[in-house]
Amino acid sequence: MNIDFSRILNLVNEIPIQVFKQSCLTKLPEKQMDEINKTTPILTSQLTIYYSIQESFLNITVLFIPNLLVIADQYLVLSNCKITKLKQCYKFDAYGIQLSSSTGHLLMFFNNKQQYLEWMPKLKSFCKLTNFSNKFCLLEQIIKDYYIVQHKKTKKYYTSYVHSIRATSPVDILHSEIQTLRSIKHPSLLDLKWVYDDNHYIYLIFEYFRCEKLLDLLNQGLILDQTQLASIILQLLQSLKFLRKNNIYHGNITPNNILINTQSSFLQLFLVNMAFISRIDQEPLDQYLSNVHESYIAPEIQQGIAKPSINSDLYQIGIVLYFLTFFVHQKRKDERVDRIQMELIDKAEEYLSQLDKNTQYKYKMVYCASQLDLLRRLLDKKDHRIKLEEAIKHHWFINIKQKLKPKIERRKQHLPSLKTIIELCEQNEYSKNFEKQQKIIDEDSVLEENNLIEVLMQQLEQNQQSKRPSKENHEKLRMFEQFKTQIECEKTNQEKQFVFSKSIM
């Protein structure tokens, strides 16, 4: 490639010359170098960069792994950067980009157009982009802060979370969540496609889905049976197991931060609004305490004897289980739990002990003895709290699995009709995709998905249809039918690619 880079540099007049002396690269710790060799890169190429230390152009190997650009012994976190095309280079048949962060800039040039077209889309999927309104149009708000958007060029639909920079929620915590979503992938975490950062709003663009907050569904009258409730709690525990493997905790597990996918044929949830902070000193800890509802802060954190962790996440799941078990329908605007009353658990256990098993089964009690046992152990003091592995294999889940077996066997005995056969074939194809995702969640799962879960989805549709008729709801229903699509379940397994990225985070 025969290009006069000095002339190209002179064309970039909008960048002051002193900016090129501000490097946005960070020294890579030596202990992390071994992790690089174990990481499967997204791309690796010989590229030309402007090296600020030597104030010259340098042809060097650039390694691209999820959310990180590694150049020699330095790295750059892409989710902290804005990416800009250097259109001035086109007249020289050159292709370059500018990566800008709060610490400096990096100019990077490609050998040809084909290489540029290979790198650019992948870099854009990790960097912060601009001009959201030029690329997307907002169509419909589905819940607070979540919208259906359409790409103006491709006409494809996505779901977007819109965060006001002037909102009370700290932007630093949002950026931490963005870094996490860039570095790891899991079925219970939203699939982040792009991030747009404009003057007043930050837009997180996800794959298209429709959802409802668990708290809103409860306020609409949704009643969960033991199977559905156990499925929710087990998915939360499995998500924690995955986060722990990546040295991350959630920090903000509440019914308001649990989204139920209303388009899925099985009970699928997403955990949102993470309050993960990588460094635990006083300033970010104060942010954590101000951002998390007081009822969901573990006692050891309130007492100042422990910091947020997976262990405190277990306590929050205990609060969620308590909230769902003893939920009183009163149109709550938040998930406030006035006070954990352990005597409620005692009274529930005493009441169950007075009933025989046939009575319990006949009336399908909202709770059972094993459920109350798990609840009590999740809410226990830090030193006596149940461990994550024990919680996942708790006998509550095992008991429910055993109860479902007779129903599954009875369903197998009935001869299906032609219509049922067609439906089963479609469900089988969907189930294969779901099973691939479930293997990522947890190989030790003790709860099987079953047809009773569909009761929840039917309830969701009934809630949607039972709302008071209005022009707004009529439009929502019309949009729902228009934009209802099959969620893509086939995801490329990039597990190896994220091994190094999460360690840097």
pLDDT digits (tens, 9 = 90+) for 73-129: 889 989 889 998 887 777 777 788 889 888 888 888 898 889 999 999 999 989 999
Residue pair 211/146 in contact (Cβ under 8 Å)? The answer is yes
Is the pLDDT assigned to residue 161 strictly greater than 80?
yes
pLDDT at 434 over 50: no
pLDDT single digits (tens) 306-336 = 889 999 999 999 999 998 888 765 555 555 6
Say what percent of the chain tops pLDDT 90.
34
Q: How confident is the model at residue 457 (pLDDT cuts 50, 70, 90)?
A: low
4-41 per-position pLDDT tens digit: 666 666 655 555 666 666 778 888 887 777 777 778 88
Hey, what are 471's tokens? 């022009």
Residue 18, pLDDT score: 61
Helix (H, G, I), strand (E, B) or coil at 237: helix
The per-residue pLDDT for range 329-356, each reduced to its tens digit, is 555 555 566 567 777 777 777 777 666 6
Which amino acid, residue 406?
A: P
Helices (H) and strands (E) in the chain, counts: 19, 17
**Alpha-carbon torsion, ordered 408, 409, 413, 414, to 10 deg:** -20
Structure tokens belonging to residue 153:
């060029």
Residue 35: count other Cβ atoms within 10 Å of its Cβ.
17
Q: In the predicted model, is pLDDT for residue 279 greater than 60?
A: no
Whole-structure pTM value: 0.73
Domains of the chain: 5-122 (2.30.29.30), 132-207 (3.30.200.20), 214-491 (1.10.510.10)
Query: In this predicted model, what pLDDT tens digit does every residue of 187-209 receive, in sequence order?
Result: 999 999 999 998 789 999 999 99
